Each structure stands twice: as structure tokens, then as C-alpha cells.
Chains A and B, each alone.
Chain A
Amino acid sequence: MSDNTVVVKKLINASREELFEAFTNPEIMSKWFYPEDDMSVDVANEFHVGGTYTLKMYASNGDIYTHVGEYKEIIPPEKLVFTWNSDFVQNTVVTVTFSEMESGTEVTISHDLLPAGEMTENHRKGWGGCLSRLGTVVAS
């Protein structure tokens, strides 16, 4: 994980199994996975490691935002890793984990905006180090 990863968490009143399904079953995904109230989404997926998904988000002005990616890791009901490509970013990686809590399940989404597919591990490290050094420079 690096400075270029966005991490969000939320405690949701549902079981890990229910949440895992909500992230992976196209029918349920289409009920919540769109960014604005006036948008809708079409979801299609081949749910296995190496399989792909497509999210087509329809805005009320007719714009369509397409997101595609590939499932990298599937561990029901604990963890899900997939790549995330949009008009804006390519080869980014999203990891979703589900942790059991007393009052529900904590969902953690971490979105690594490094273009992983295009770089070797060394490049990734180098790049992360580079940005953190730049951060130091800017702060000083």
C-alpha cells in the first residue's frame, strides 16, 4: 500500500456472506453500484479468477461511463481483488475485504491508483518512494 491508495471503511448491518454477494452478484450490484441518484448501472460479470466484469453507468444526460476489470482474487466471504479501468484510470487495483464485527460487517475498500499492470514490482516501489520523497520536499 502507498500514498496512492484510497482506503474507505464502513460498518454495515449485514453478514459477510450477504455483503460478498452484494459485491459479486450483478443483479444486486445494479441496485447500489451507481454514483449518483439520477444514474443507473448495468452489470455483467464472469465471476471467477481471470474472469471480467463490466459496469456501464448511465447518466441522466445520456453519458455512459464504462468500467471494466478482471477478478484477481476471490475468497468468499472474506476478500475480493479486481482491476479497475475507466476512461480516467487504467490498471488500478481495488481490494475489498469483509471483517465480521459484533454489530455487522466492516467493509474495507482500498483502491490502489498505481498502474500495476504496466510496472514491475521494482518500479512500483521506486515510484512509491519517489512520490513520498516529493511529498517531503513539498512539505519542507
Chain B
Amino acid sequence: MVDENSGFIDRVFYALSNTTRRNIVLELTKKDLTVNELAKKYDMTLQGVSKHIHVLVRSGLVVQTKQGRTKYCKFNYQHLSKISELLEQYRAFWERRLDALDEYFEKKK
């Protein structure tokens, strides 16, 4: 079974299912940016871009930090390793299933 905190993968997948949000993430891997700068880049209203940022923050892919009076959006690198952990958990799950299937046939024979 996959661990109980893994609802985050749904949030990550949902966050990345939108082109604008994917672009935002890619921009943030290059440089930390403010919401204002992101809004300008994508020719969006502050409100519009904030909605996307909110989804990305909820997914854990982006964190916001304050430097002085300015709030920067940063890409959260640690989250990627969490995703690979989840993939590992699924791998273990399916490996155990195949082991159990093997045992079933061993006993049958």
C-alpha cells in the first residue's frame, strides 16, 4: 500500500496538467520571481497568476519566501525526490503482488 500522505501526487499531477503552470514552474527553475514579474511575463492579471501560484504552492512544487518587503516564488527542489519516492512505493507494491502471485502458483503445483 502506498503511504497515507501520498495525496500530494494528485496535487502535483493536477498542478502540472495546465500549460501556464508548467511554464511558471520552468521559469522558476531558472530564477526566483515575484508574482508581479510572473504576471507581466504571461500577460496575466495579478489575480489570474495568483490563482496558478496558489495551486502550485498547494502541490508543494513552489514555495513563497519574503525577502524584505518582496515576496518571491521559488521552485521547491525537494519535492521532486518525494515524487520518486512515491514511484518507488508503487514499484514495491507491484513487486510484492508478483511475488504473491508466484507463491500462489508454487503452492498450486
Contact = CB atoms under 8 A, between A and B. Distances in A.
Given A8-B98, A88-B10, A89-B9, A127 B16 contact: yes
B101 A12 contact: yes
B87 A113 contact: yes
Nearest to A11: B102
Contacts of B22: 126-127, 130
State the majority secondary structure of interface residues on A: mixed
Interface in A92-136: 107, 109, 111, 113-115, 118-119, 123, 126-127, 130-131, 133-135
Given A57-B1, A88-B6, A126-B19, A134 B101 contact: no
Contact of A109 (B7, B87, B98, B105): B98
Nearest to A105: B105
A66 to B, nearest CB: 12
Given A8-B91, A22-B104, A127 B25 contact: no
